[in-house]
Structure 1
Amino acid sequence: MMITQGQNNAYGRARILVIGLDAATFDVLDPLFAAEKCPNLARLKHEGVVATLQSTVPPLSPAAWVTTLTGCNPGQHGVFDFRALNLDKIHGRSDNLVYSDVYAGGTIFDYLSRQNMRVGAFNIPLTYPAWKVNGMMVAGPVTPDLRQAYTYPSTLAQRLGPMGHHARPQDLQRFAVDAYFNELAWSTRRHCAYGKQLLLEEGPFDLFWFHLHTLDSAQHRFWDDDAPETVYQLYEMADAGVGELLQLVGPESSVILLSDHGARARPAHTIRPNVWLQQQGWQIFPYDRGARRIFEAVRRRLQKQEPQPQLNLEQRVRWSLTQAYAFPLADPVGGIVINLQGRQPQGSVPQTEYETLRCQIAARLKTWQTLKGVPVMRQVNIREGVYHGKHTQNAPDIIFEVDPDFMIDGALDGHDMGSNAPLQPGEWKGVHAMQGVFMANGPHIDSASSLADLQLADITPTILYALGLPIPSNMDGRIREEIFTADFQQKHTPKLVPALHLGSQNHSNGNQKAENAQMLDRLRVLGYLE
């Protein structure tokens, strides 16, 4: 039921408070807890339900958070990356960013709004532009200009300050280590202050969802297994902000904390699927490997004298004889695309041979090993084994997850696997991991319960169940009833309602082309795009 004024003391400023800590990992949290740091997060862990949370495929914020908000897999909601996937193009990406209109209308915020419940959303990735809900929304990254907030209602932006210091990508690129840390520290404190302000001024809410993105940025830039102090400092700042938010909820409120994926050190080794495909005879160049080595040596020498344009996959492969090529997603997940007639610009594989070839490549991928006999692949699936829904056709034909000791390299030359090159300035020290964190606490949460195989898509159905609402039938996630007390389960029988429609909002902005370019530039500087 909707919060009423008489219930405010019981629920404080939010009946359910969700805290998203982008890329938070128990690999960082557990050492901090052992050192008696991050007391607010430690209390959530020790007094509630704790679980490892499995990310989406791929483990990227756009796919992960949209899956969390909709309860649907990327094959349904269509968001795999910051840009739309497009198999018509060899590089696999649209030139435009994905906006919230792709999925808005089918989120937990929309569903609760239709139930006359009040919702608040702050800084969740891929919620730009903010859309109409029964409550308020502050759009999360990526937005056109960090110097301002983009909100619903639009007047809310006037009461908030900037979301970041530096609006221009070149400013971020010039950041020294100390300056970049200071920017992240400023953003962490400022965003936590905004969350507190919104709870106080705009609440009470039935659901308030607060998101902090800076841990992900810190781990990409500062991850160091031997000297983790810089990352630790950001976690401690986040903990302080979380503590202030927790003070604003009441004794009858529930709190859920989660991350979209984890983090880990950049692996020491690489695999090169394109080179592997060449070795199997499924990818052909117009000249043999010996000639290619000579060509590459000459090209590198010329490059030192005068920079030359880098020839890409589309320019170098002999497409009339090539049957497959690697498709970049996000480590540790990658893809293979069949060069299909009628789909690819220079397709060579007839439709009648597609399924046989796909199964052959997938089966052989599973046998790929190092010289020491260690399997390279953790999982290999055809795309229909990972996704379902109308957008499944946009995904690579084969999806694979590599062993965590490896990164995926799209290079066309060299060995099929090898050691990672030394880090260059600006390259990420930390990368994503498939496992994130989950903690839940509240009067109806059974702290003695345990959770196995928790998925991001389970979050929204479980929140709806906690609010006593039926679950839309299109949601892939399941209600995790086991985290609730026996008494709560006895009083609340799960029910279904008709499916929610995804993508009912329109993004009408005459300046969309310019803002798209601004946001793409920022993502490139931050390392999310090549």
Structure 2
Amino acid sequence: MRALLIIIDGLSYELLEKYRDELPNIRTLINEGAYGRLESVFPALTPVAIASLITGVTPKTHGITAPKIFVRGRKLSDPISAFSSEGLLVDPIWYHLGKRGKKVIVASSPQALPDRWNLPNVKLIDPFRMKVRKCSEAFFLREGEWRVHGKTWLVSKEGSRYEIAYPGETDYSIIRINVGEREGPIVFRAKCRDRELMGLAFLAAKEEGVYVSPAAYQTYEWSNDREMMDELWERVFKVSGVMLDSDHRSLQRGQITLDDFMWTASLAFRFFTSYSKYLLTTRDWDFAVTYFPVVDNV
């Protein structure tokens, strides 16, 4: 028997009750399986609640009590992040299953990494570690020469058509895009925090410039299996792109429209769906965890 835990961030019981009959797959799961109301923990925040799901105990016991955890003897300027295994005081379900010889895939969980358990049959992924501080925010390109993350991008416009020369995988690449069009993913080179990295992003051309979505990078820090990271990057991420969240920040700044925002939300859903499906169909597993942030994002 195999078990799959699907976490849909932000999908409260009240929200699910409202739309359950309009969601055929959810409706099938409800009708053919078990269904009931669960109360979240306090505080009802994503990393805190998921830590309770994966350990089976309350926050005061598992140690993840807030986004930042302040520990006696540790500087106030250096708290433990809830998005790290460092704060867990209780071993998660994948450790117990892995110790019993079960094959486990964790496609996304805030406390999956760093890997403190080192079990060869437990594959851990946290795609949010593909973000790089100060290099993973959206930006706008207008006509001219731009220095972006340590590299030069060139943008020209003739009528409603943009031509963008950017640092591609091996040399400069050129993409042409008309106002109103969207493209991607593109693969580009960047220098972030003194590291040469490959990044992925999407483009949307507007009258006032070209929107470049928040980028994700091949940091080699987002899984405990390097070979699997290379495989996912080449076979999935470079095809479907990587969008970790809907871009609500650009929407709040007035840089993108509501329609653009919903596009980024759909890209995030597509990303988590595509790589989760790839893992579940190409790997042998007994227990798996996957995660979708799209409800919480919207």
Task: Indicate conservation of the 8 Å contact 2:52/2:62, yes or no.
Answer: yes
Q: Which protein has the larger Cα radius of gyration, Structure 1 or Structure 2?
A: 1
**In structure 1, distance between residues paired with 2:259 and 2:108:** 24
Task: Indicate conservation of the 8 Å contact 1:78/1:102, yes or no.
Answer: yes
Shift of 1:177: 2.2
**In structure 1, distance between residues paired with 2:267 and 2:127:** 16
Match of 2:216 among 135, 140, 147: 147
Size of the alignment, in residue pairs? 200
- Which amino acid in 1 is paired with 2:109? I
**In structure 2, distance between residues paired with 1:167 and 1:187:** 6
| CA deviations over 1:360-409 (Å, ceiling 9, x no partner) | xxxxxxxxxxxxxxxxxxxxxxxxxxxxxxxxxxxxxxxxxxxxxxxxxx
Shift of 1:52: 0.8
Shift of 1:129: 3.4
The residue correspondences of 1:408-419 to structure 2 (distance < 5 A) are none
The residue correspondences of 1:112-131 to structure 2 (distance < 5 A) are 112-130=97-115
1:137 matched to 2:124? The reply is yes
1:187 matched to 2:171? The reply is no
| CA deviations over 1:61-113 (Å, ceiling 9, x no partner) | 11111111112222222111221146999xx9965533212228711111111
**In structure 2, distance between residues paired with 1:104 and 1:45:** 33
**Distance verdict in 2 for CA 1:76–1:29, change over 3 Å:** closer
Shift of 1:167: 11
- For residue 38 of structure 2, give the secondary structure of its aligned residue in structure 1: strand
1:164 matched to 2:233? The reply is no
User: Whose relative contact order is higher, 1 or 2, with alpha carbons under 8 Å and at least 6 apart?
Assistant: 1
The residue correspondences of 1:316-331 to structure 2 (distance < 5 A) are none
Q: What corresponds to 2:153 in structure 1? A: none
Task: Indicate conservation of the 8 Å contact 2:246/2:262, yes or no.
Answer: no
**In structure 2, distance between residues paired with 1:41 and 1:167:** 23
**In structure 2, distance between residues paired with 1:166 and 1:21:** 13
Task: Indicate conservation of the 8 Å contact 1:126/1:142, yes or no.
Answer: no
**In structure 2, distance between residues paired with 1:54 and 1:168:** 29
**Distance verdict in 2 for CA 1:20–1:169, change over 3 Å:** closer
**In structure 1, distance between residues paired with 2:273 and 2:68:** 28
1:31 matched to 2:18? The reply is yes
Q: TM-score, normalised by structure 1?
A: 0.34
Task: Indicate conservation of the 8 Å contact 1:148/1:157, yes or no.
Answer: no
**Distance verdict in 2 for CA 1:93–1:43, change over 3 Å:** farther
Task: Indicate conservation of the 8 Å contact 2:48/2:65, yes or no.
Answer: yes
- Which amino acid in 2 is paired with 1:182? W
Shift of 1:154: 2.1
Task: Indicate conservation of the 8 Å contact 2:6/2:290, yes or no.
Answer: yes
**Distance verdict in 2 for CA 1:191–1:167, change over 3 Å:** closer
1:217 matched to 2:297? The reply is yes
Shift of 1:40: 0.6
Task: Indicate conservation of the 8 Å contact 2:130/2:216, yes or no.
Answer: no
Q: What corresponds to 2:155 in structure 1? A: none
| CA deviations over 1:473-528 (Å, ceiling 9, x no partner) | xxxxxxxxxxxxxxxxxxxxxxxxxxxxxxxxxxxxxxxxxxxxxxxxxxxxxxxx
Q: What corresponds to 1:84 in structure 2? A: 69
Q: What corresponds to 1:248 in structure 2? A: none
Task: Indicate conservation of the 8 Å contact 1:138/1:151, yes or no.
Answer: yes
What RMSD in Å do the two structures reach over aligned CA positions?
3.2
**Distance verdict in 2 for CA 1:156–1:167, change over 3 Å:** farther
Shift of 1:42: 0.4
Q: What corresponds to 1:48 in structure 2? A: 33
- For residue 125 of structure 2, give the secondary structure of its aligned residue in structure 1: strand
- For residue 209 of structure 1, give the secondary structure of its aligned residue in structure 2: strand
Q: What corresponds to 1:263 in structure 2? A: none
**Distance verdict in 2 for CA 1:111–1:19, change over 3 Å:** same
Task: Indicate conservation of the 8 Å contact 1:87/1:93, yes or no.
Answer: no
- Which amino acid in 1 is paired with 2:228? L
- Which amino acid in 2 is paired with 1:24? L
Shift of 1:123: 1.6
Match of 1:61 among 46, 56, 66: 46
Shift of 1:168: 10
Task: Indicate conservation of the 8 Å contact 1:62/1:82, yes or no.
Answer: yes
**Distance verdict in 2 for CA 1:152–1:190, change over 3 Å:** same
Task: Indicate conservation of the 8 Å contact 2:59/2:65, yes or no.
Answer: yes
The residue correspondences of 1:267-282 to structure 2 (distance < 5 A) are none
**Distance verdict in 2 for CA 1:66–1:112, change over 3 Å:** same
**Distance verdict in 2 for CA 1:105–1:63, change over 3 Å:** closer
Shift of 1:16: 0.8
**In structure 1, distance between residues paired with 2:111 and 2:270:** 21
**Distance verdict in 2 for CA 1:72–1:175, change over 3 Å:** farther
Shift of 1:128: 3.7
**Distance verdict in 2 for CA 1:83–1:143, change over 3 Å:** farther
Structure with the largest fraction of helix: 1
**In structure 2, distance between residues paired with 1:88 and 1:169:** 37
